[in-house]
Structure 1
Amino acid sequence: MGKIRFSIFFSVFVAMVGLMIIAPVMPPLIRELGLSETHSGLIISLGSVAMALLAPLWGRLSDVKGRKPVIILGFLGMFIAYVLFTGTMYAGLQGMIKGGLLVVLLILARALVGAFIPAVPSSAQAYMADITDENERGSGMAFIGAANGLGLVLGPAIAGVFAIIGLIWPLYIGALLPILALIVVMIMVPSHKPVIHAKPPKVSPFQKGVRIYLFAGFVTMVSIVTLQVIGGFYFQDQLGLTTNETARMVSFGLMFTGVAMIITQGVQMKNKKWQPKQLLVVGALLILIGVILFLSFNHLAVYYTAYFLFGIGSGLLMPGFMTGASLAVKKEQQGGVAGLIGSIQGISAVIAPLLSTGLYQVEKHLPFALLGVLMFVLTITLVMVNSKSTSQHLAS
């Protein structure tokens, strides 16, 4: 069991690193190619669109074909997609491909990366649901959440280290990691029989018992992405920092968020008492407090405290909505619901950057105000659902 859990952890970690390792080097690479910021936005956004569209399909496929084959296929696809993306980028830097053709090829290659990445976390989450009972589901999902958090922190860090050698080097690592993960999965993960042999019952995002957790997942991911996207602008404008100072300060802030997330999920792995809705309510309230700190004070130490609270809150929210969604469906629907969660993550990655930067241009406090409203609505909704469930239980 320990080997399986490690391989699941490593698989999700590699998938998240594969997603995050591109982001830090994309802006300078785009400028080296003579392209614009708009081109960079298109390349990244369309990759996220591919994630949103294909994640549910991968999850359902894992129900029919088995978890291990889909994870293997995901890593093979990631490797091929990264080779194509890196090769196209290299050809562009060498002047072999230029102009519109270069942009189209980069968009297609990045979309291919986004298409294969969700095969891994969707199948891994469903696999974790297969090997845990209801009492252990929360700690199992916290394990996956910790892998997400670690990838979120180390992805950009790995990119920064290898970018010292050359800007394209992080992309070489992005192509190498899926092969390493593929070997680990093939050796350590036993073949798992498909959950069902017929066509699986489809999971609707509006299905009773599931929609609240998908909404929680959407709010959580929008908050995480928004903090990543506008945190630097907010730091610089509020504190009057230089560009280099901003990069350094924001890096520390995101590190605090990632460390807090990992620690929180590490504790949650050992704590099986809290129910998903309890995790969500406490996590939402902590992020709400962080938002209030951002809006009410103008001091570096307070901002770092807010980043840390964001990390703790996210560390509770992620296993909360993953566990809740998993427990809300039948065994043969685990892949389907895991795919929907992956889709929500992709949708958030498309919407949050556009929405947060648009609001920031209108008024710099608006993105954080929106997060506060979303967390407040989520908290009230969860409390009302809990109260309704309790009333129905007492009446019966």
Structure 2
Amino acid sequence: MSDTPRLDAARADLIAKTRQCRAISAARAEVLNSGLAANLEMPHPIFIDRGEGCRVIDADGNTYIDTSVGFGLHMLGHRHPLIRDAIIERTDKGWMFGIHTTAQMALAELLKEASPCAERVVFCNTGTEATFYAMRAARGFTGREHIALFDGAYHGAHDYGMVMAQPGSPPEALTKLPMGRGVPAAITDLMVMLPYRHRAAFDIIRARKNELAGVIIEGVQSSNPQPHVGEFLRELAQVCRESGVLLIIDEVITGFRVSYQGAQGRFGVTADLATYGKTLGGGMPVGAIAGRADIMNVFTGLAAERGVFSGGTFSGNPLTMAAGTAMVSHLKAHPQIYARLDREGDRLAAAVNGFCAQRQLPAQMKNVGSMFHMFFQRGPVESARDIRADHVAAEKAFYLHALNRGVLVPGTQRAFLCDAHTTSDVDTLIEVFCTSLADVEADGLFR
């Protein structure tokens, strides 16, 4: 990062008021390897002690407006009394049995009612597990082995999700790469890379339909939230249907966030299978696969009948089911939450984009309702193929200034609003983001 007196002062101020976080960071290095992008780690990680509403308090007692909200899962904010009380009530009855409980039925019925594609539901523990099992189900149902996914997507940390497109390769013939070491080439070979929001994707599906078990796509790419993806999703569903290829919509982030019915409901598309996580669990670890009964029935087969296996010690555990039922029931009863968050998300993006346009800054904010992401570049950003690292120093300085002013943005830079963010809180976000951009501009870092 390019140093300037203003940036040095902000960094020094942040270090001075986060001494305990700095000490914890040093101690952590002797014990833990970081596998979690919790924050931007400038100049060191911020360690959170507690949360309340849309705010978190670090180990030094500093309070931040949180735009991570648990990577988007806290639709109602931290420590919401409804969720807290549901968890406490459940603990009085026991929290792990290893066999089915009545708590599973309540959340399964809510998910079946909310998800346009859900005729049957299977619970697991994470969104990663959900997409993994959905791919397995697609293979088991169709008898085919290949799965197609889109450039710029993230479908969890299992090997089948750890495949990306080579930057700069043509959309009609994207080159595949593993996301880091440890992913076998044999697995990468089973994945077909499609260009996001490009018609070549449909041609590839048609050409390879006899080997494709399914196509998986995020309802909205969290790394690139585009508000006008509905037409592409609907045409993709039609192409998959005509080609006999299963459509898997990854609703791990979008489920119960972009609408009560997720991306499927918001954009008017129905998947064959959908995966869920995050918000569904009310802040507890959760994953779920939902879909057509004939496909989901592959999970019920015994090994002798060559069924598809799914399982996990904590799948459908009572604590998660209680928290999830409380969350989803509240969202069902209060649909106005979505309308308000859409308005506030649009207002935030419009204000930041207006500021950038007025000052001709190479920065922009994309959002779909309460999901938002900053990009530090000029020109349209329609897919991952358009994303460039044009102003890295400016980007890092922006997030440091925002953090020093009391706004926490997750290290993934995928940010969210929740129902606990008030109009006043969004006003503060606008002020902090615009002031931080002005500081970056004044220091000449947009070069």
TM-score after normalising by structure 2:
0.26
Larger relative contact order (Cα-Cα within 8 Å, sequence gap ≥ 6): 1
Q: Please tell me whether Structure 1 or Structure 2 has the larger radius of gyration of its CA atoms.
A: 2
